[in-house]
Structure 1
């Protein structure tokens, strides 16, 4: 019988402080607790293998998070599917319901219909931001994007809606004041 592995005390503390969040994140992505446990076990083994180097380099949380995201992402890629929350999570269900509702709603300006016809990422960002009221950092987390990318999709969606609805652009406002 082998003696139990003695883990560095700092690693044990890091594990205890982060494992629940990592498991929740992986479960939201992979869809089952079992798959999440397997992925996070693999992630913590990799983190432990490079523990001393991680401590010396700094940014421990960022580097550990990168390991978790990479392992979960590779697993999704190997399975050839999007994250579970995109398929069947409460946000995905709300987005599908919002899209369906917007398609049937009538509006004088055609705004609801125009929103319903946006490309998927632009639609998701607009609904999450302006209909459900989520702040950009939370949208970024849900969608696996950066805040800048969320802002980009918002800007592109607004521009697409402006053109589609025939509203004047920023250049029309500038010309008025002269």
Structure 2
């Protein structure tokens, strides 16, 4: 008789609290549920293998997130392609909504590619907030950051995108008129 593997209870709780978000993120990048499940399964196996060390080191969410990013990134690299949201229609539609939030008016601006070129934290925040539509508090909890730090990364990403896409800066009057 084969005895089932007994997982640490805190790992099971971590898995239950993060698996949906990890899968959503991987599916957005890889373009399919099966590929996402394979990548996240691999990520959770890696996280489990170093579970005790991760608990002792602190920053569990950030370390786990780094594992997910690395595994998804390596798969994209091995397949020699950009993230799926750059090339998939449904994801393109979600990005169209994100583009509106970023106040980008023209359709052929290169926004998708520009998002893909953002630094890792800015990229994660933009994908989680505007594509997967997670609230700031959940992104902050997940990434092990404060709400203000998530907002900071979002502002920096939007500014970087504005510059990269050659869009004009908002005037001070417009900012004040919007209560910013």
2:158 is aligned with 1:155: no
TM norm structure 2: 0.60
Whether contact under 8 Å (1:26, 1:39) holds in the other structure is yes
User: Gapped runs of 5+ residues in structure 2?
Assistant: 97-104, 116-122, 132-152, 169-180
Whether contact under 8 Å (1:30, 1:36) holds in the other structure is yes
Structure with bigger RCO (C-alpha 8 Å, 6+ apart): 2
Q: Encode CA deviations 1:87-146: one digit per residue, 9 max, x unaligned.
A: 1143424768xxxxxxxxxxxxxxx7xx5675x249867xxxxxxxxxx98535468xx5
Structural RMSD (CA): 3.5
Could you say what secondary structure the match of 1:7 adopts?
coil
Q: Report the Cα distance in structure 1 between the residues aligned to 2:41 and 2:124, rounded to whole angstroms.
A: 27
Q: Which has the larger radius of gyration?
A: 1
- How do 1:31-110 and structure 2 match up within 5 A? 31-93=31-93
Could you say what secondary structure the match of 1:39 adopts?
helix
The Cα shift of 1:21 comes to 1.2
In proportion to residue count, which structure has more helix? 1
Whether contact under 8 Å (2:11, 2:48) holds in the other structure is yes
Aligned counterpart, 1:24: 24
The Cα shift of 1:55 comes to 0.5
The Cα shift of 1:2 comes to 3.1
TM norm structure 1: 0.61
Aligned counterpart, 1:139: 126
The Cα shift of 1:37 comes to 0.9
User: Gapped runs of 5+ residues in structure 1?
Assistant: 97-111, 126-135, 163-178
